[in-house]
Chain A
Amino acid sequence: MAYEKIWANDPKLNKTELKKLEKDGLEVLKDIPYYAENGFSSIPKEEWDSFKWAGLYLQRPKKDGYFMMRVKVPTGILSFDQLVTLAQISKDYGRSIFDITTRQAIQFHWLTIENIPDIFHRLSHVGLSTTGACGDIPRNIIGNPLAGIDRDEVLDTRPIVKQVSDFFQNNEDFSNLPRKFKMSINANIYNAGNAEINDCAFIPAAKVIKGERKVGFHLKVGGGLSSAPKLAQLVDIFILPEQVLEVAKGVTTIFRDFGYREKRHRARLKFLVEDWGVEKFKDTLLKYTGPLEGAGEDLTNGWNAGYFYGVYPQKQAGLHYVGINIPLGRLHADDVLELARVAKLYGDGEVRTCGTQNIIIANVPTENIEALLNEKLFEKYPLKPPQFTGYAVSCTGTEFCNLALTETKERMKRIALFLDQELSIDVPVRMHMTGCPNSCGQRQIADLGLQGVLMRNKEKKMVQAFEIYVGGTLLNNGEINHKLKGKIAGEHLPNVLKQFLEYFRDTKQPKETFYEYVQRVGVESLQIELDRILGTTVTTA
């Protein structure tokens, strides 16, 4: 142990903390070969949770012994070999399920403990890891999926992400944090790294230092959604690219040494930042990093919400990237292999995963674009998805989640399809559906959030229903969306949304986004319209 666990003698530590003091989370990596040799029954029940540090969760029902595995993909960049390896793992061991997460990682399901050593070996062979994908540890570093090829980036973050990611990888000095720790490093001017919903986010900035304009980063800390959403706050410092690692270490050390370990539900960094305030946070951080310049010019100039559909020129002359839609982020292993083939044939095989669970094919020369676009793959995964389908997000819902009150994924798919057939608007509307008050579907930052409830009406009929939230964004430091009064039975939701969106279409200004519209007309006027719609619609079946 290279550092002192200054919290070790705190009498108020929770049970998980006591367990982590006895045995560090990363120790599970040493045990896995034995368990793989001796089968699931050889794993003591009390060890199940520690598998998170290896990027493994037991699927429900836990006793069946099937694992979900998360593979880290820093800033979303995957080479051809990595993509093929992942596809093959999914095909050989994971029933061909290949999921892209909202933090740019890859997830498999249905793995057994006997499979794990071979999977680890294959991943390690291509430079990928699951260590730290879950657990109380720095997680996959997210950022700009276009890093290094982006005409809208102020600098190439790839070497910085690699440096920071490598530093924290298997680092026992930082494997026992109070809770998960999510970091974002992004230099795209449209906030491609969703800064405000991360514990620690580096965002593009510039400052004149000694007469010379330097490009670097600002820092935001203490963000996170979950059931008590909080948007990250700006710390008054300017960070040069070569200082990012020191600052990341400083923030993580503060979280490790001062973060709360008494109650797990109050352990995320946002609670410490809330109590300390950003001034005290900054003063403490400077003790670790040494002097830093005050904040300079913020270079963020909007929010693209992580969408990159279509063909666009890269910063490298003669090369293009191609953004495609992966509905709900789920691919079949065979489609991943086909994607790899196409990416290699027309580009250099490199692809990027997006926080919107979509894919970008990188480095396609101009002369290959036309042939690439004729590939059959893009009939299934289009470059120009229908407007509502292309901007719909959903949590798992009752299909797999025990906490969900409503079915969501298929419902959202059906509703988006219906809306695509029924109406067209001159701007996309980001709809997020979630089956409970938690944040898996990131309902809080949606233009139009839909939250599921279960309702029993006067006739004793049970119906799945939804509440509507409007006006979420990460623009201008972010805003959590606002709830409208009224509950809509699931079967009426498509029609109510259609009327609601028609009203938006008919009363909006040209090219006005949904967020701008809510800002202009106010939530109350949307409430009046929803009341009118609900007054003319039977909503409780």
Chain B
Amino acid sequence: MNVYRFEVTTADQKVIPAVIVASTDEKAFSLVEVELEKYYLKLPDIENITLFEKKKLRNGGGFVVPYETNSRR
């Protein structure tokens, strides 16, 4: 299993950080969408979902999510 750090960019250029655990990159991307659907009553207009970093999950692991992200696209 891997742990993944994503940023979701909306059409109005808001950035939503997301951290996912999955066995493959494909599954991780799919799970971002699932988690967004769970979180938002009305889904924001998603421009892109970007994977920035992944780590092997052996005895645990995670990321510090940057408080202010520079991503805009």
Q: Is the CB–CB distance between B47 and A483 below 8 Å? A: no
Provide the main secondary structure of the chain A interface.
Answer: loop
A405-B54, A437-B53, A454-B25 known; A485 vs B48 contact (CB < 8 Å)? no
Q: Return the contact of A436 from the options B46, B48, B53 (Cβ within 8 A).
A: B53
User: What range describes how many residues of A lie at the interface?
Assistant: 20 to 34
A352 within 8 A of B: no
Contact partners of B52 in chain A: CB under 8 A? 405, 437, 453
Contact partners of B47 in chain A: CB under 8 A? 457-458
| Bound-state Cα–Cα, A402 to B2, Å | 10
Contact partners of B46 in chain A: CB under 8 A? 458
B23 within 8 A of A: no
Interface string of A449-475 (1 = CB under 8 A from B): 000011111100010010000000000
Contact partners of A437 in chain B: CB under 8 A? 52-53
| Bound-state Cα–Cα, A462 to B25, Å | 10
Contact partners of B25 in chain A: CB under 8 A? 405, 454
B55 within 8 A of A: yes
The minimal Cβ–Cβ distance linking B4 to chain A, given in whole angstroms, is 9
A539 within 8 A of B: yes
Q: Is the CB–CB distance between B53 and A485 below 8 Å? A: no
Q: Is the CB–CB distance between A456 and B29 below 8 Å? A: yes
Contact partners of B71 in chain A: CB under 8 A? 485, 487
| Bound-state Cα–Cα, A457 to B51, Å | 11
Name the residue on A nearest B59 (C-beta).
Answer: A15
Q: Return the contact of A539 from the options B50, B54, B73 (Cβ within 8 A).
A: B73
Provide the main secondary structure of the chain B interface.
Answer: strand
Contact partners of A126 in chain B: CB under 8 A? none
The minimal Cβ–Cβ distance linking B50 to chain A, given in whole angstroms, is 4
The minimal Cβ–Cβ distance linking B61 to chain A, given in whole angstroms, is 10
Contact partners of A540 in chain B: CB under 8 A? 48, 73
Q: Is the CB–CB distance between B73 and A534 below 8 Å? A: yes
Count B-side interface residues using an 8 Å CB cutoff: 18
Q: Is the CB–CB distance between A462 and B29 below 8 Å? A: yes
Name the residue on B nearest A487 (C-beta).
Answer: B73
B27 within 8 A of A: no
Interface positions, chain B 45-73, Cβ under 8 Å from A, are 46-56, 70-73
| Bound-state Cα–Cα, A486 to B54, Å | 20
| Bound-state Cα–Cα, A458 to B54, Å | 22
Name the residue on B nearest A405 (C-beta).
Answer: B51
| Bound-state Cα–Cα, A437 to B70, Å | 15
| Bound-state Cα–Cα, A457 to B54, Å | 19
| Bound-state Cα–Cα, A458 to B46, Å | 7
Q: Is the CB–CB distance between B70 and A483 below 8 Å? A: yes
Name the residue on A nearest B53 (C-beta).
Answer: A437
Q: Return the contact of A486 from the options B29, B53, B55, B72 (Cβ within 8 A).
A: B72
Contact partners of A487 in chain B: CB under 8 A? 48, 50, 71, 73
A377 within 8 A of B: no
| Bound-state Cα–Cα, A457 to B72, Å | 13
The minimal Cβ–Cβ distance linking A245 to chain B, given in whole angstroms, is 39
Contact partners of B54 in chain A: CB under 8 A? 403, 405, 436
Contact partners of A456 in chain B: CB under 8 A? 29, 48-50
| Bound-state Cα–Cα, A275 to B52, Å | 29
Name the residue on B nearest A438 (C-beta).
Answer: B53
Contact partners of A483 in chain B: CB under 8 A? 70
Interface positions, chain A 5-43, Cβ under 8 Å from B, are none
28 contacts between A and B (CB under 8 A): A402-B56, A403-B56, A405-B25, A405-B53, A436-B54, A437-B52, A453-B50, A453-B51, A454-B25, A454-B50, A454-B51, A455-B48, A455-B49, A455-B50, A456-B29, A456-B48, A456-B50, A457-B47, A458-B47, A462-B26, A462-B29, A483-B70, A485-B70, A485-B72, A487-B50, A487-B73, A540-B48, A540-B73
Which residues from chain A sit less than 8 Å from chain B, CB to CB? 402-403, 405, 436-437, 453-458, 462, 465, 483, 485-487, 534, 539-540
Additional A-B contact list (9), CB under 8 Å, known A436-B54, A453-B52: A403-B55, A456-B50, A458-B46, A483-B70, A485-B71, A485-B72, A486-B72, A534-B73, A540-B73
Which residues from chain B sit less than 8 Å from chain A, CB to CB? 25-26, 29, 46-56, 70-73
